[in-house]
């Protein structure tokens, strides 16, 4: 039966998820997998092998590729390996890999600044460009970037992270402007405060800020990986065919308050 709900089905789709070894991106990769997509998890960690094996126990195949997004000179080979594992097609690219460093701006180390921009921003550019070439040839593609609320407001002690995520927001729009009419949509999700390793030390480093944030979230809690899954399936699917250049906050209502 051809019902509208079938448009969310990703069976037969091929996806690359950067940063997919663990954390939020692993959760988002799981959502794509559960919806039927064949997935490559691309990550710098050895753990990526185990994560792919675990996810691929049932359903469509899940592959592991090791790569370092901060090394652009290696990314032609890394992308070629992903493409080869997927049989030469890629329908979905989820640019999720990201790092964080918390330090007052006045002391922020230059090497941390550079590394964060290399992975969080340039990594998105390089992977999108490569996957985009394949998708443009196919006449079909879905790129989903992982932004952050700090793309809108810069918070404190995370100047590089905020700058990188604001850059991802504009890259999303820039690629969308050139590719949307060619069948390749480019969108981003902007997760709110999520309870993960990346944010785990905030409770210790700045307990006052931690309490203030929790009290300000209309839903009264931090998000978890499952909270991102529905939006990712939507943006990766046929159901979102007229959505491009959008930044979707998934933040328990934080941005509206």
Ligand X SMILES: NC(=O)c1ccc[n+]([C@@H]2O[C@H](COP(=O)([O-])OP(=O)(O)OC[C@H]3O[C@@H](n4cnc5c(N)ncnc54)[C@H](O)[C@@H]3O)[C@@H](O)[C@H]2O)c1
- Give the active site residues: 161
Provide, rounded to whole angstroms, the least separation between the CB of residue 190 and ligand X.
7
Q: Which CB, 38 or 43, lies closer to ligand X?
A: 43
Q: Which residues contact 122 (CB under 8 A, 6 or more apart)?
A: 69, 70, 72
Note whether 48 and 21 are within 8 A (CB). yes
- How many residues in the shown chain lie near ligand X by CB under 6 A? 28
Tell me which of 194, 232, 233, 247 binds ligand X, using CB under 6 A.
194
**Rule CB under 6 A: is residue 14 a binding residue for ligand X?**
no
Among all chains, which residue has been given the structure tokens 């493409």?
83
The Cα-based distances of 216 to 60, 199, 257 in angstroms read 40, 16, 8
Tell me which of 79, 140, 175, 193 binds ligand X, using CB under 6 A.
193
Closest CA to 66 of 91, 47, 83: 47
**Rule CB under 6 A: is residue 231 a binding residue for ligand X?**
no
Footprint on residues 122-151 left by ligand X (CB under 6 A) = 146, 148
Tell me which of 37, 44, 86, 116 binds ligand X, using CB under 6 A.
44
Provide, rounded to whole angstroms, the least separation between the CB of residue 12 and ligand X.
26
Tell me which of 13, 14, 22, 142 binds ligand X, using CB under 6 A.
22
Q: Which residues contact 152 (CB under 8 A, 6 or more apart)?
A: 166, 190, 255
**Rule CB under 6 A: is residue 251 a binding residue for ligand X?**
no
Q: Which residues contact 119 (CB under 8 A, 6 or more apart)?
A: 69, 70, 97, 98, 99
Footprint on residues 84-113 left by ligand X (CB under 6 A) = 96-99
Cβ neighbours around 246 below 10 Å, total: 15
Q: Which residues contact 154 (CB under 8 A, 6 or more apart)?
A: 162, 163, 166
**Rule CB under 6 A: is residue 199 a binding residue for ligand X?**
yes
Provide, rounded to whole angstroms, the least separation between the CB of residue 134 and ligand X.
19
Residues interacting with ligand X, by CB under 6 A?
Answer: 18-19, 21-25, 43-45, 67-70, 96-99, 119, 146, 148, 191, 193-194, 196-199
């Amino acid at each position: 039966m051809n019902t509208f709900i079938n448009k969310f089905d990703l069976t037969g789709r091929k996806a690359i998820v950067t940063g997919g070894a663990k954390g939020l991106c692993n959760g988002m990769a799981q959502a794509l997998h559960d919806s039927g997509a064949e997935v490559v998890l691309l990550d710098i960690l050895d753990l990526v092998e185990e994560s792919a094996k675990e996810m691929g126990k049932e359903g469509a195949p899940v592959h592991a590729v090791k790569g370092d997004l901060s090394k652009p000179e290696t990314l032609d080979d890394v992308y070629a390996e992903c493409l080869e594992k997927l049989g030469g097609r890629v329908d979905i690219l989820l640019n999720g890999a990201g790092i964080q460093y918390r330090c007052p701006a006045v002391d922020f180390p230059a090497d941390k600044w550079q590394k964060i921009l290399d992975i969080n921003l340039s990594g998105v550019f390089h992977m999108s460009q490569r996957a985009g070439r394949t998708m443009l040839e196919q006449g079909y593609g879905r790129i989903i970037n992982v932004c952050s609320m700090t793309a809108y407001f810069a918070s404190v002690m995370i100047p590089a992270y905020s700058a990188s995520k604001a850059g991802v927001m504009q890259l999303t729009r820039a690629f969308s402007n050139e590719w949307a009419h060619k069948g390749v949509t480019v969108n981003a999700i902007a997760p709110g405060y999520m309870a993960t390793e990346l944010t785990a030390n905030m409770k210790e480093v700045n307990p006052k800020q931690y309490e203030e944030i929790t009290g300000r979230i209309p839903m009264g809690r931090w998000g978890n990986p499952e909270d991102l899954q529905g939006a990712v399936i939507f943006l990766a699917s046929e159901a979102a065919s007229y959505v491009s250049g959008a930044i979707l906050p998934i933040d328990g209502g934080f941005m509206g308050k």
